[in-house]
Structure 1
Amino acid sequence: MANPLGGLLLRLAALLFFFRSCQAKTVTYDFNVTWVIANPDGLFDRKVVGINGQWPLPTIEVDKGDQLVVNMYNGLGDKSTSIHFHGMFQNGTNNMDGPSMVTQCPIPPGNSFTYNFTVNQNGTYWYHCHTDYCYPDGYRQALIVHDTESYFHDMYDEEFVLTMSDWYHTLVEDIAPHFITLANPTGAEPIPQAFLVNDTMNTSIPVKPGKTYLLRLINVSAFVAQYFYIEDHTFKIVEIDGVYVDAAEADTLYLGVAQRYSILVTMKNSTEKNYPIVTVADSVLLDVIPSDLQLNYTNWLEYNADAAHPQAVMTVDTSSDLVPFDDITLVPHDRMELLPDADLTVELTVMMADLDNGASYAFFNNISYTKPKVPTLYTVMSSGNLSTNAEIYGEFTHSVVLGHNQIVDVVLNNGDTGSHPFHLHGHNFQLLHREPSYGAHFYDYASASTPPLTYDPSDHAAFPPYPARRDTFVAPPHGNFVIRFVADNPGVWFFHCHIDWHLAQGLGMLMIEAPTQMQERMTIPEGAYDTCRAAGVAYEGNAAANTEDFLDLSGQNKQVAWLPAGFTAKGIVAMVFSCVSAFLGMAFISFYGATGIQSKKPEAEGENQEGSAPTDSQRLSL
């Protein structure tokens, strides 16, 4: 017998869905991406990537359920580009995700691309370029999805967005040649010249006594994590990476690159003074701290425009002494339970090492991500019944094929002495375990002399019954973490470190999720293939662009070969300085030989010619 109550509930749900669909709208942005000149720290004019002739870039704002359309024209003239809408699930629209050579071809200068997808999410996100390493040149900004049905919607009076970023005076095109190179065998990341809030400095947020404000915090940096606090104020965390959480009181946050928080801050009932909003760069990430690099910056909650705007008073010696709130302890407001035990466990070990060219690269399980010759999504779509065979996606994309609706654990052991913010496209994931946790012991293993702390599946604390969820999670130095998600979103999804320099070094891999369902449900617009034709990039075939035999990977892009046994980073450094010394020695010989100093023996003239400084080709063989 049919259940009349159940039928009524179904009809009500359908009616509610119809009502929401009628409310949804199409939000369109037209972006002409060009170079502009900016000087946000007041120290140096430089080219940055602007949109419609302006920088900072426009914030994208939509309501939950809206259709978002971004018509992008690449007017840079000298660089290809793309847009990744960070944190958007792109359910059914994987081809709109944006990373070049993963879900699309790079968009060459003079060409356009239309991103079009439905936003069935809520919360705080951002967008940025995802072609090579390009967003350090300023191509990044907030994307906000408003939701009038959030449980805290009536708990605040006004909202503000605060982006945090590191800032370089040098264009990426000028930094890159000196980063992954023989001259930098330790892989030391480029040091920024400043740190910004909302792409500027000395920002005041006007507030009123007794009012409550929602602050949306986003770290859009290329490299450096940030601590955040407000002097003499606490706040309540209500969202992380688009996931609403039960309000949790805190006074200090740590935002790894790409992480987001929304917090509620209630103002004091006084206008006597203004209070510093403090951001502190995580100095542990920096190999060198130049004497002129300021690590902590002050902006203000401005209660009184006429009152003093004091600089923050640091109460700790170093940034690592700050103790932030531990995100793994947050409870999702929807009470989504711990997913069942994993059907598949992906075990990853992070490592940084030199390869045969003497430069430093990054690895998951000894594989440094190397882009294929065909965007991996297009390999899926053109491979027929071979789509479930990971081999066709290339050895150096480190692709893992996931079955539809599989429960997947990622167990990550960090063999590096630096922390890494790892981001999974297309999903948020449950935070099951991290060791060591945020707090006093987070940096205990950040030393080459301290062995890495490897995850032990038989010896760990119980996983939380309602795990926190987010899309970017920080792995501690020489520590580990475990995350879990359900493969319910067919697509090709990048999993990578969001420190842009580390992704350039190869710290990434691909999750090929439900490829059979992708072929059944997805269609690539012809305009996307036109982009490939304009870029001169193949859009059919395996990772080697072979359309005849998908199992023949001859000609695939490969990572640089491994160093011969016995070479170390110290050895490489010694070799570099030996070569430099040799070149200088030859230069001095050449210089003094050219000054006209003559030997007492005439017959020595021929000997000098035979013993002259080596040619360029001889130098290269030293």
Structure 2
Amino acid sequence: MYNGRGCRRACVKGAPPMTCRYHFVMEYYSTLGPACRDCPNNRTACFERQCVTADGIERGIMTINRKMPGPSIQVCQGDMVVVDFENRIPGAATAIHWHGILQRGSAFSDGVPQLTQCPIPEGTTFRYAYEADEIGTYFWHSHDGLQKMDGLTGSIIVRSLKDPSFQHYDWDLPSHVIVLQDWLHQYTAERLPGPRRFRRGQRPDALLINGRGRFINPVTNSSNGIPLSEFRVFPGFRYRFRLIHAGCLVCPLVFTVQKHYLTAIATDGSPNKPVVVDSLVILPGERYDVVINANRPVGIYWISLRAVGECENLNIYQEALLIYEGASYNSLLASPSPGPAGLPEGVVLNPLAGACKPGQPGVCVNQLQAEGPLLAVDPVLTSQDVIRMTMTFDFHTFDYDSLFKNPHFYKFYVPAPSDIQVAGRMNNISLILPPAPPLSQPDVLENLCASGSEKCCQNPQTEGIIPGHRECINIISVPTGSIVEILYLDNMNTNGGLTHPIHMHGLMFYVLEIGSSDDRLMGKHLLSYDYRNNPNPNKKDTIAVPSFGYAKIRFKATNPGYWLIHCHILFHLDSGMGAILKIGEQSEFPAVPKGFPRCGDYKPGY
């Protein structure tokens, strides 16, 4: 039953779970390659089975099964997902993370190289296996280097008749999964550490909606004619659309649909009481499920995606089409594209800068309430026996001598617009990963620390020391079953321009508070959390922390293992903006399968 044949089905009460098998083949590929034949001159050719158009600009990419986005895994709750991942890329290793899947009892399938597994070498196949035990909208992506940005991503949908959101829509179609990507016109590795003068920085060249879009030449204002993504509906029905931000760069995206409200019913897989908005802001790693009521006159309506934040004035946007059955393409002539200005944003879900104050048209995720009746307040929210910790994140800015006249080779990248070199940090540490995964090779950390290696954060630095800055394996340990509250503090004051999406592997957390820079300056982040403000908060696994603002989350550490916490902006993570949460002790971790691959340093005694 390879490639999930039979698993994309209506979930039936009482039906036994299935084992859903997939074969993923990772290759170098190209946009508008030979499979596309005469696209875009011949529109039909743009839909050939193995044609990847992107935005119509030719470039090399990486793909799974010659698709972008890659194959969509759509299963029922309780199914076992088994993916044989075959690496056919010369000279490259990889690992695949199943973003939002909690991996209870299968931490070795979480897909973080050097933490939960060894990278998958060229010419080998690694079998991932996990239970789809939570309903919701998730996605998979490479977690090795910069590969995700070059095309290695796709959706995961877990459905169930127990979904409490059923009452809010009529149809939940596989074709209404929307994968959003930011996109570059060159391999991403060319931007790390990045050029100093030509095309520097980490802003996208374009956006894609389900792997498609039209690039508008900024000089001639002409389009290359690539077909846009289309989503079809019948009049009079309510449709569930699942939005996934699989992008990697610094610009949040505003999603709007012409003349239609969005009824948000879930975030990061967790159902919430419906909230009606005009638009929503979505950051890398986040997912939102919305209901669109096809109650407008029969026609074709614009779906608008616009980059904001640091990209606010760069006119980076993309479009798709919402097509009512029976509509004529001629109707587009009467409703021209909104273009870079986008559609009116109105009431915004997840607004930037934590702008959820009385009188402002915004709904923050800490204001969402979980779907279902409130039978009792969760003890996680009311407990006073809480491990509280603060996690700050910022950038260390190097001067010339500390970076280039130093025996230690610190990792860095060159952001725009200034000619500076920076490294991402959490709690003043740029994260590096161990030489072997401690989940399956527990001696690796003990040996590093015993050897005096600077890679162990417990050991002092001996060479090239930079005051207040370290590069080491940053592990935070908590006991299994403990209640943990984390205060995320953004220590970079970028005047509201840069919002960090912080993702936590292996866990869902309650979103308690989100505060703007003004709230932080007033000291509100220092106040104790009062669960009575929202006794039924929603859960997430990725939280957008406002620029120089804060977010407060809480969870019960019920999933033993090593779990990565990191900014989901790719260059921030790869330059160190992450930490490792260790839950429990090695004896509590799930046993790795027999024959699990091993790796590590090779230092023979001569």
Find out whether 1:353 has 2:396 as its counterpart.
yes
Task: Please tell me whether the aligned partners of residues 477 and 581 of structure 2 are also in contact (alpha carbons under 8 angstroms).
Answer: yes
Take 1:419 and 1:139, find their aligned partners in 2: how far apart are those partners? 24
Letter in 2 for 1:472: T
Task: Please tell me whether the aligned partners of residues 305 and 342 of structure 2 are also in contact (alpha carbons under 8 angstroms).
Answer: no
Take 1:354 and 1:113, find their aligned partners in 2: how far apart are those partners? 39
Who is 2:387 aligned against?
344
2:160 maps to which of 147, 153, 162 = 147
**Structure 1 residue 317 displacement after superposition:** 11
Secondary structure of 2:439's match? Answer: helix
Deviations 1:490-522 (A, max 9, x none): 111000000111101110000000124434xx2
Find out whether 1:430 has 2:541 as its counterpart.
no
Find out whether 1:274 has 2:300 as its counterpart.
yes
Q: Which has the larger radius of gyration?
A: 1
Letter in 2 for 1:199: G
Identity fraction in percent: 25
**Structure 1 residue 392 displacement after superposition:** 11
Who is 1:123 aligned against?
136
Letter in 2 for 1:130: H
Take 2:361 and 2:501, find their aligned partners in 1: how far apart are those partners? 18
Who is 1:507 aligned against?
577
1:36 maps to which of 29, 37, 52 = 29
Take 2:86 and 2:54, find their aligned partners in 1: how far apart are those partners? 28
TM-aligned CA distance change 1:74 to 1:314, over 3 Å: closer
1:328 maps to which of 366, 369, 386 = 366
Take 1:333 and 1:546, find their aligned partners in 2: how far apart are those partners? 55
Higher helix share: 1
**Structure 1 residue 142 displacement after superposition:** 0.8
Take 1:24 and 1:459, find their aligned partners in 2: how far apart are those partners? 41
Task: Please tell me whether the aligned partners of residues 337 and 467 of structure 1 are also in contact (alpha carbons under 8 angstroms).
Answer: no
Task: Please tell me whether the aligned partners of residues 256 and 345 of structure 2 are also in contact (alpha carbons under 8 angstroms).
Answer: no
TM-aligned CA distance change 1:274 to 1:54, over 3 Å: closer
**Structure 1 residue 80 displacement after superposition:** 0.8
Task: Please tell me whether the aligned partners of residues 254 and 324 of structure 1 are also in contact (alpha carbons under 8 angstroms).
Answer: no
Letter in 1 for 2:321: W
TM-aligned CA distance change 1:151 to 1:305, over 3 Å: farther
Find out whether 1:257 has 2:284 as its counterpart.
yes
Find out whether 1:195 has 2:257 as its counterpart.
no
Take 1:326 and 1:455, find their aligned partners in 2: how far apart are those partners? 16
Query: In the TM superposition, what are the counterparts of 1:30-109 in structure 2 within 5 Å?
Result: 30-39=23-32, 40-109=53-122
Letter in 1 for 2:180: M
- Please, what is the CA RMSD of the aligned residues? 3.3
Find out whether 1:211 has 2:237 as its counterpart.
yes
Secondary structure of 2:403's match? Answer: coil
Ranges in structure 2 where 5+ consecutive residues have no aligned partner = 1-11, 33-52, 214-227, 405-420, 458-471
Task: Please tell me whether the aligned partners of residues 219 and 257 of structure 1 are also in contact (alpha carbons under 8 angstroms).
Answer: yes
Letter in 1 for 2:329: D
TM-aligned CA distance change 1:168 to 1:452, over 3 Å: farther
**Structure 1 residue 379 displacement after superposition:** 4.5
Task: Please tell me whether the aligned partners of residues 505 and 563 of structure 2 are also in contact (alpha carbons under 8 angstroms).
Answer: yes
Take 2:529 and 2:64, find their aligned partners in 1: how far apart are those partners? 51
Task: Please tell me whether the aligned partners of residues 257 and 343 of structure 2 are also in contact (alpha carbons under 8 angstroms).
Answer: no
Take 2:208 and 2:362, find their aligned partners in 1: how far apart are those partners? 20
Greater CA drift, 308-317 or 196-205: 308-317
TM-aligned CA distance change 1:415 to 1:207, over 3 Å: same
Find out whether 1:457 has 2:470 as its counterpart.
no
TM-aligned CA distance change 1:348 to 1:146, over 3 Å: same
Find out whether 1:366 has 2:428 as its counterpart.
yes
**Structure 1 residue 526 displacement after superposition:** 3.9
Take 1:253 and 1:100, find their aligned partners in 2: how far apart are those partners? 33
Letter in 2 for 1:419: T
**Structure 1 residue 105 displacement after superposition:** 1.0
Task: Please tell me whether the aligned partners of residues 413 and 454 of structure 1 are also in contact (alpha carbons under 8 angstroms).
Answer: no
Take 1:455 and 1:102, find their aligned partners in 2: how far apart are those partners? 32
Take 1:514 and 1:386, find their aligned partners in 2: how far apart are those partners? 20
Find out whether 1:176 has 2:178 as its counterpart.
no
Who is 1:419 aligned against?
499
TM-aligned CA distance change 1:526 to 1:42, over 3 Å: same
Find out whether 1:245 has 2:272 as its counterpart.
yes
Take 1:523 and 1:488, find their aligned partners in 2: how far apart are those partners? 16
Letter in 2 for 1:252: S
Task: Please tell me whether the aligned partners of residues 116 and 440 of structure 2 are also in contact (alpha carbons under 8 angstroms).
Answer: yes
**Structure 1 residue 489 displacement after superposition:** 0.6
Take 1:125 and 1:342, find their aligned partners in 2: how far apart are those partners? 32
Deviations 1:331-390 (A, max 9, x none): 111447342235211211112122321730111111111122222323547789999xxx
Alignment: residue pair count: 493
Letter in 2 for 1:157: W
Take 2:522 and 2:439, find their aligned partners in 1: how far apart are those partners? 35
Who is 1:230 aligned against?
257
Deviations 1:111-132 (A, max 9, x none): 1100011111111000000012
Secondary structure of 1:501's match? Answer: helix
Letter in 1 for 2:536: Y
Take 2:488 and 2:296, find their aligned partners in 1: how far apart are those partners? 47
Take 1:381 and 1:27, find their aligned partners in 2: how far apart are those partners? 35
Deviations 1:49-108 (A, max 9, x none): 112333331111111000000000100112111100000000011000001111111111
TM-aligned CA distance change 1:165 to 1:54, over 3 Å: closer
Letter in 2 for 1:163: V
Letter in 2 for 1:498: H
Secondary structure of 1:104's match? Answer: coil
Take 2:588 and 2:447, find their aligned partners in 1: how far apart are those partners? 12
Ranges in structure 1 where 5+ consecutive residues have no aligned partner = 1-18, 437-442, 539-544, 548-622
Take 2:315 and 2:445, find their aligned partners in 1: how far apart are those partners? 52
